[in-house]
Amino acid sequence: MDRQKLIIDTDPGQDDAIAIMLALASPQIDLLGIIAAAGNVSVEQTAENACKILELTKRQDIKVYKGCPRPIRRAPITAAHVHGQTGMDGPDLPTPRHVPEKQHGVTFLLETLAAHPANSITLVTIGPMTNLATALIQAPETVGRLKQVVAMGGAWSETGNITPAAEFNAFADPDATAIVLNSGLPLTLVPLDITHSFLITPDRLEALAALTGQCARAAHAMLNFSARFDLNKYGWPGAPLHDPCTVGYVLAPHLFAGKKVNVEVEVASPLTLGATVVDWWQVTERPANATFLRSVDDSGLWSLILEGLSRLP
């Protein structure tokens, strides 16, 4: 089996944690490292959270690197009101025995890309795109060696979840999002249009609770904690599960459908800052710059995640 080389750029986050677990549980994936991003909480906390996930999964061989501590030119925001003060509230997680590397996450990304064949590494971003945008500013030719970028971010029909117009990752650093959208990288966006149709309903939580491993128990506790906010907010039969959709796409792209279109992000308007403008009907002459996903086989995706979590300790 040809394993897919993967780097995850993340701001854990309960849903980020489950995305990382899915990657670690999948023999098809060779996880080269984790870069922590400032987003749901501070970069210091997200790096510690990533180390906790690796401790939980008994994968201390994977290294964690702290990335940029703040957006490119805006004041930091967080989502502690959703994820709790640690960003990953819910389970009682083990204290990690190792700490993030001293090397900066952007440096790790560039050096790793330079050391591997071109078009052999996929970058999954499940937080604000600050680290990737910074790498593009520093060394666009090196970043161009990426096979693809799969990013959780943006929205079209689902509008926004942090403001009426904007999805959190795009809003947290819209300038970084703009840099990535205009970079020419092979980019797939997994937006709210996907994640809002992937709901973790009580029966799915019950199936997760039936698994016996400590990782599955932690995932269950995480989802129970983070769901409380979205269930109250939306009134849906389940809470959306965002970030694991990206790793799910890497593993099983046939479960998703979308098309390549032009996507731009608002970087100036106080009213619509961070909004992604998706030219789905190609009414402009702007060139297509991203594959924008619109639908998912949610049952197939949940089966994939549940099977993955069942393989972890």
Q: What is the pLDDT of residue 95?
A: 87
Bridge partners (DSSP) of residue 65 are 35, 101
Is residue 222 within 8 A of residue 91, CB to CB? The reply is yes
Q: What is the pLDDT of residue 1?
A: 63
E-strand ranges in the chain read 4-10, 29-36, 64-66, 121-125, 148-152, 187-190, 199-200, 239-240, 256-261, 263-265, 276-278, 290-296
The answer, yes or no, to whether residue 9 has pLDDT greater than 90, is yes
Q: Check: pTM over 0.95? Answer yes or no.
A: yes
CA distance 172 to 249: 23
Burial (Cβ within 10 Å: 0-12, 13-18, ≥19) of residue 186: middle
Q: What is the pLDDT of residue 85?
A: 78
Is residue 117 within 8 A of residue 160, CB to CB? The reply is no
Instruction: Return the percentage of the chain with pLDDT > 90, whole number.
Output: 88
Residues 6+ positions from 109 with CB-CB distance below 8 Å: 7, 9, 35, 123, 131, 132, 135, 143
229: left (phi over 0), alpha (psi -120 to 50) or beta: alpha
172-200, pLDDT tens digit by residue? 999 999 999 999 999 999 999 999 999 99
Q: What is the pLDDT of residue 72?
A: 97
Three-state DSSP state, 218: helix
51-92, pLDDT tens digit by residue? 999 999 999 999 999 999 999 999 999 877 787 777 788 888
What is the C-alpha end-to-end distance of the chain, expressed in Å?
23
- Mean pLDDT, residues 274-294 taken together: 97
- Mean pLDDT, residues 247-276 taken together: 98
Neighbours of 296 (CB within 10 A): 22
CA distance 253 to 301: 10
Determine the residue type at 7: I
Q: What is the pLDDT of residue 82?
A: 80
Model confidence at 28, pLDDT cuts 50, 70, 90, reads very high
Q: What is the pLDDT of residue 260?
A: 98
The answer, yes or no, to whether residue 256 has pLDDT greater than 80, is yes
Cα–Cα distances (Å) from 120 to 20, 32, 125, 248, in that order, read 20, 12, 16, 18
CA distance 54 to 17: 10
Bridge partners (DSSP) of residue 188 are 150, 291
Q: What is the pLDDT of residue 228?
A: 79
Look up residue 164 and give its two tokens: 């009426």
Model confidence at 110, pLDDT cuts 50, 70, 90, reads very high
The answer, yes or no, to whether residue 212 has pLDDT greater than 70, is yes
The answer, yes or no, to whether residue 245 has pLDDT greater than 70, is yes
Residues with a known catalytic role: 242
Q: What is the pLDDT of residue 83?
A: 78
157-176, pLDDT tens digit by residue? 999 999 999 999 999 999 99
The answer, yes or no, to whether residue 96 has pLDDT greater than 80, is yes
